[in-house]
Amino acid sequence: GEEVAQTPKHLVRGEGQKAKLYCAPIKGHSYVFWYQQVLKNEFKFLISFQNENVFDETGMPKERFSAKCLPNSPCSLEIQATKLEDSAVYFCASSQSVTGVGYTFGSGTRLTVV
Amino acid sequence: SQQGEEDPQALSIQEGENATMNCSYKTSINNLQWYRQNSGRGLVHLILIRSNEREKHSGRLRVTLDTSKKSSSLLITASRAADTASYFCATDDDGNNRLAFGKGNQVVVIP
């Protein structure tokens, strides 16, 4: 398809619970990126994939965050033992290259940790 | 990592007026991109300008790039209520393998 599909749109978790977010990139796009947006401000880079391989994970909080992009499955971002400060909108984007063309973003998953 | 910084942060204009916003960055780049974010939505790619370009147009959008000053501007001409959104610049931050986004400009177009 021509859109990046993110599910669910909203997710509410109690502190300490697990959260799992999904992203279906555009077919033919080799790169997938995850960004975190807190309070409508700047976008914090988390991780990127080139096909199913981790490309750049320098933005990931290593202790509780993990992500995968497996063949024939949506990509996923998982947060173990969520904390209040994880509350944010998580955006997934896909692209045909790392930085040479524009990214196509999904509509995001709003995670609220209570 | 380096990020674009937009200026001003918020802009309120009447429909039909032009809106101009600026972005500065700190390191060398290969290209700079502008995105729009409507409330509750993801970013929409507007335009990309390469480091060897000085100006680019797309419809009512005009982007300039001054690599000597490490700055870019986005001009929206004849604004419409539908242009109400936040606008972000992003740079490829030469050497890094991702786009780095600035803090965003909120533009409100009053009908």
| Domain parsing of chain A, residue ranges | 5-99
Q: Over range A23-47, report the average pLDDT.
A: 93
Rounded to an integer, what distance in angstroms lies between the CA atom of residue A37 and that of residue B42?
10
Domain containing B21 equals 5-110
Within 47-76 of A, beta carbons closer than 8 Å to B belong to 48, 55-56, 59
Joined tokens for residue A97: 């290259």
Report the gap between the CA of B104 and the closest CA in chain A (Å).
7
Residues of chain A with Cβ-Cβ distance to B3 below 8 Å are: 42
B33 touches chain A (CB under 8 A): yes
Of 2.40.30.30, 2.60.40.10, 1.10.260.40, 3.10.129.10, which CATH number belongs to A5-99? 2.60.40.10
Distance CA B50, CA B70 (A): 13
Task: Answer whether residue A15 shows pLDDT above 70.
Answer: yes
**End-to-end Cα distance, chain B:** 39
Residue A112, token pair as written in the block? 């609220």
pLDDT for the residue B4 = 55
* pLDDT tens string B4-15: 555 557 899 999
pLDDT, mean of residues B67-83: 96
Q: In 10 A of CB B57, how many CB atoms? A: 11
Cβ–Cβ gap B101/A35 under 8 Å? yes
B92 confidence band (pLDDT: 50, 70, 90): confident
Closest residue of chain B to A110, computed from CA coordinates: B40
Q: What is the mean pLDDT of residues B74-98?
A: 90
Specify the residue for token string 């959260």: A19
Reply yes or no on whether the pLDDT at B86 is more than 90: yes
Cα–Cα distance measured from residue B36 to residue B22, given in angstroms and rounded to the nearest whole number: 14
Write down the H helix ranges in A1-112: none
Residue A34 contacts B, CB cutoff 8 Å: no
Find the CB nearest A99 among B45, B92, B103: B92
pLDDT for residue B2: 31
Q: In chain B, how many domains are there?
A: 1
Tell me whether the omega of the peptide bond preceding residue B8 falls within 30 degrees of 0, making it cis.
Answer: yes
Mean pLDDT of chain A: 94
Spatial separation of the C-alpha atoms in residues A33 and B92, rounded to whole Å: 14
What average pLDDT does this structure show over B57-79? Answer: 97
> pLDDT tens digits, residue range A71-112?
989 999 999 999 999 999 999 999 998 888 899 999 999 999
**Residue A26 backbone phi and psi in degrees, to 5:** -70, 135
C-alpha A91/C-alpha A77 separation (Å) is 10
- CATH number for position B10: 2.60.40.10
pLDDT of residue A1: 55
Least confident piece of the model among A3-12, A27-36, B8-17, B46-55: B8-17
**Section A39-45 average pLDDT:** 85
Res B1 pLDDT > 50? no
Residue matched to tokens 């914090």: A44
> Rounded distance, CA A24 to CA A76, Å?
9
